């Protein structure tokens, strides 16, 4: 099949796709409607698998010929053997699971490398919104109120750095970026203040 000339993915998924090696084994956890997985299978010839919580998302993925099962990161990663994938992807989901540390450990048990993206609750607009209004912030990136958001662990970039270092993992690449996908400076403290989101490529030491 002829490869596409341009990347049709939203900016954060395009950054993830650029990190994936052709012909590799990939597990996309929380794959939604399968846009990233479909792109990787079509354009990089990966052996792609997916896990998605919503039945609607699973149905759409399967209708597009993708191998996706219904499940979630908290309960279903234990079914996979050690090092069974080259890359395991968890995009904007770590803050929404019940046990982030356990999930992180599982990602790097079943994958040689893990790609994680998170929304940054330490970004300056979030801080200012909370300071001035005294209520949990609602922004373009964090666009739901406290009572209907999927986010249950309010994590900043520095928080995730602390967890990664505590568990002894290696950060192969760190990319902070804003809501439009434009990258910011990679200094940790600066990124924690300025970036709306962050991407981490991890491996075991």
What pLDDT digit, counting tens, does each position of 54-64 carry? 999 999 999 99
Alpha-helical runs (H) found in the chain: 11-19, 35-44, 55-63, 73-76, 100-110, 124-133, 157-166, 188-194
Helix (H) or strand (E) holding 177: strand 169-177
Q: Please report the pLDDT score of residue 7 as a whole number.
A: 67
In the predicted structure, residue 130 carries a pLDDT above the cut 80 = yes
- CA separation, residue 64 to residues 5, 9, 27, 71 (Å): 21, 16, 17, 18
Q: Say yes or no to pLDDT of 4 above 70.
A: no
Q: How confident is the model at residue 10 (pLDDT cuts 50, 70, 90)?
A: confident
Given the structure tokens 């597009």, which residue do they identify? 64
Could you tell me the CA-to-CA distances from 136 to 3, 58, 147 in Å, in that order?
A: 44, 32, 10
pTM attached to this predicted model: 0.90
Highest mean pLDDT among 16-25, 122-131, 136-145: 16-25
pLDDT classification of 5: cutoffs 50, 70, 90: very low
* pLDDT for res 8: 81
CA angle 10, 90, 38 (to 5 degrees): 50
For residue 105, name the pLDDT band (cuts at 50, 70, 90): very high
Specify which residues 27 forms β-bridges with: 49, 88
Task: Measure the CA–CA gap between 52 and 62, rounded to whole angstroms.
Answer: 11
Residue 151 has pLDDT above 80, yes or no: no
Q: How far apart are CA 127 and CA 83, in angstroms?
A: 39
pLDDT for the residue numbered 181? 85
pLDDT exceeds 70 at position 1: no
Strand partners, 81: none
Rg of the chain taking only CA atoms, in angstroms: 17
Please determine, for residue 143, whether its predicted confidence score (pLDDT) is greater than 60. yes
Q: Which of 39-48, 63-72, 142-151 has the lowest mean pLDDT?
A: 142-151
């Amino acid at each position: 099949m002829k490869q596409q000339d341009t990347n049709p993915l939203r900016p954060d998924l395009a950054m993830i796709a650029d990190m994936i090696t052709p012909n590799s084994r990939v597990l996309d956890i929380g794959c939604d409607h399968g846009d990233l997985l479909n792109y990787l299978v079509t354009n990089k010839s990966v052996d792609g698998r997916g896990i998605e919580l919503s039945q609607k998302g699973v149905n759409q993925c399967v209708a597009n010929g993708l191998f996706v099962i219904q499940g979630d990161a908290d309960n279903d990663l234990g079914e996979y053997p050690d090092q069974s994938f080259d890359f395991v992807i968890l995009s904007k989901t770590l803050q929404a699971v019940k046990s982030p540390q356990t999930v992180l450990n599982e990602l790097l048990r079943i994958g040689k490398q893990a790609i994680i993206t998170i929304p940054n609750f330490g970004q300056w607009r979030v801080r200012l919104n909370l300071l001035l209004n005294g209520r949990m912030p609602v922004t373009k990136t964090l666009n739901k109120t406290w009572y209907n958001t999927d986010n249950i662990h309010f994590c900043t970039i520095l928080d995730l750095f602390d967890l990664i270092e505590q568990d002894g993992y290696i950060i192969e690449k760190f990319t902070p970026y804003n809501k439009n996908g434009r990258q910011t400076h990679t200094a940790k403290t600066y990124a924690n203040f300025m970036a709306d989101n962050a991407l981490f490529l991890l491996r075991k030491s």
